Amino acid sequence: MTKKIKVKTTVVEMDGDEMTRVMWQMVKDKLLFPYLDMNIDYYDLHIKHRDDTDDKVTVDAAKAIMKYGVGIKCATITPNEDRVIEYKLKKAWKSPNGTIRAMLDGTVFRKPILVNNIKPAVSSWKKPITIGRHAYGDVYSNTEFAVPSAGKLELVFTSQDGSKIIGVPVFNFPSKGIAQVNYNLEKSILSFAQACFTYALSEKIDLWFSTKDTISKIYDAGFREIFSREFELNWKEKFNKAGIEYFFTLIDDAVARIMKSEGGMLWALKNYDGDVMSDMVASANGSLAMMTSVLVSPNGWFEYEAAHGTVQKHYYKHLKGEETSSNSMALIFAWTGGLRKRGEMDGTPAVIKFADKLEEAAIATVEAGTMTGDLIALAEKKSYNKKVNTEGFIDSIAATLQKKLND
């Protein structure tokens, strides 16, 4: 056994639920701990432990990410009424991701893992398209109104001290109809812009941003102006030096261009556009188990995780003693993403190299035809393709990794 690689700064680990918790432990035991000497600040976000601590453990985990800069998270249950009964919870605690995102003031970036034997549905896409979705306001916090009859609709703004009242005419309804009011905060848009510039620079990829600014001359154009001002002020030089571009275009144009591009950019989108487009990109790339996710805070804190959930159905099979074939790719990439960032922050190239090798080993395993059920269904049909179970997949990656490290 060769000497273990030292990870300089403490890594914040957040354990999770169900099938991902099972895979998480295997990934640590078989792919990480044999090779890395790392100090872990461990937070158990298992639903029962969140309940026992009145969710304080989630808050503590977020604080630890703020302290050390990098957190790596397993998938967790967001409880609903069924889960409250299933786990006998005191209440339906908030989504841990929501709590952490609010504390870190972060933006989520999702990026697919590409392998050469699974072709994206869009044939021109050669490199991963990362989606950055603004996760505040717009239609998700709108006010809707069913207009009952003919009549006049107007908006009224009253300043906090009551000194200013502004009335905005909306529409003279000739008959029954519907209405909707959206809002956003300059502060939130700016912080979204900063997270996007931070991520693009950190990954050294171009940043595209698109809104419907030609039609929405205050709202969508406001997004464009905030991005543009922030870019000119704080990022232009850094982008020039890194050889990357910031590119704004109308959303229609962006959609058309993306479909013909070879990928490889960060595409920043408003809340609704990001919701829809991230599902499109995910589906064009095949499996949810091949989608990674990172929360980037404008303060330079990073939290890595898989985009998928706890794979509940597979877990129930696992509990019954049945064989499962769950895919650990995105969980592994959460670790490699976090470790690579840790290595960059600490100035430890050996850690970065290990992260690269582990990713290469995971991709090489799939490309050699050894896959979990979700991927077998998508991959090019080859005689040597072999479906393996949850643990067998991780074992194959471990064997490939061992070979790569010996080279």
Q: Give the Cα separation of 169 and 188 in Å (integer).
A: 27
Residue pair 10/70 in contact (Cβ under 8 Å)? The answer is: no
Least distance between Mg ion and beta carbon 279 (Å): 4
Which CB sits closer to Mg ion, 68 or 272? 272
* Cβ neighbours of 210 (radius 10 Å): 25
Q: Is residue 326 close enough to count as binding ligand NAP by CB under 6 A?
A: yes
Candidates 41, 275, 346, 391; binder of Mg ion (CB under 5 A) is 275
- Is residue 309 close enough to count as binding ligand NAP by CB under 6 A? yes
From 27-35, 134-142, 268-276, 309-317, span contacting Mg ion (CB under 5 A): 268-276
**For ligand NAP, which is the closer residue by CB, 208 or 393?**
393
Q: Which is nearer to Mg ion, 305 or 359 (CB)?
A: 305
By CB under 6 A, is residue 76 in contact with ligand NAP?
A: yes
| Residue 36 C-beta: closest distance to ligand NAP, Å | 23
Q: Give the three-class secondary structure for 156.
A: strand
Task: Please check whether residue 18 is in contact with residue 315, taking contact to mean a CB–CB distance below 8 angstroms.
Answer: yes
Query: Could you tell me the smallest distance in angstroms from the CB atom of residue 94 to ligand NAP?
Result: 11
Residue type, 188: S
Cα gap 126→279, rounded to integer Å: 18
Selection from 9, 124, 4 nearest residue 64 by Cα: 9
Does 66 help bind ligand NAP (rule: CB under 6 A)?
A: no
Instruction: Give Cβ neighbours of residue 315 (< 8 Å, ≥ 6 apart).
Output: 18, 19, 22
| DSSP 8-class letter at 296 | E
Distance of CA 114 to the CA centre of its chain: 16
Q: Which is nearer to ligand NAP, 258 or 363 (CB)?
A: 363
Contact segment (CB under 6 A) with ligand NAP among 70-78, 109-117, 165-173, 231-239 equals 70-78
What is the footprint of ligand NAP within residues 342-401 (CB under 6 A)? 374
Residues in contact with Mg ion by the rule CB under 5 A: 275, 279
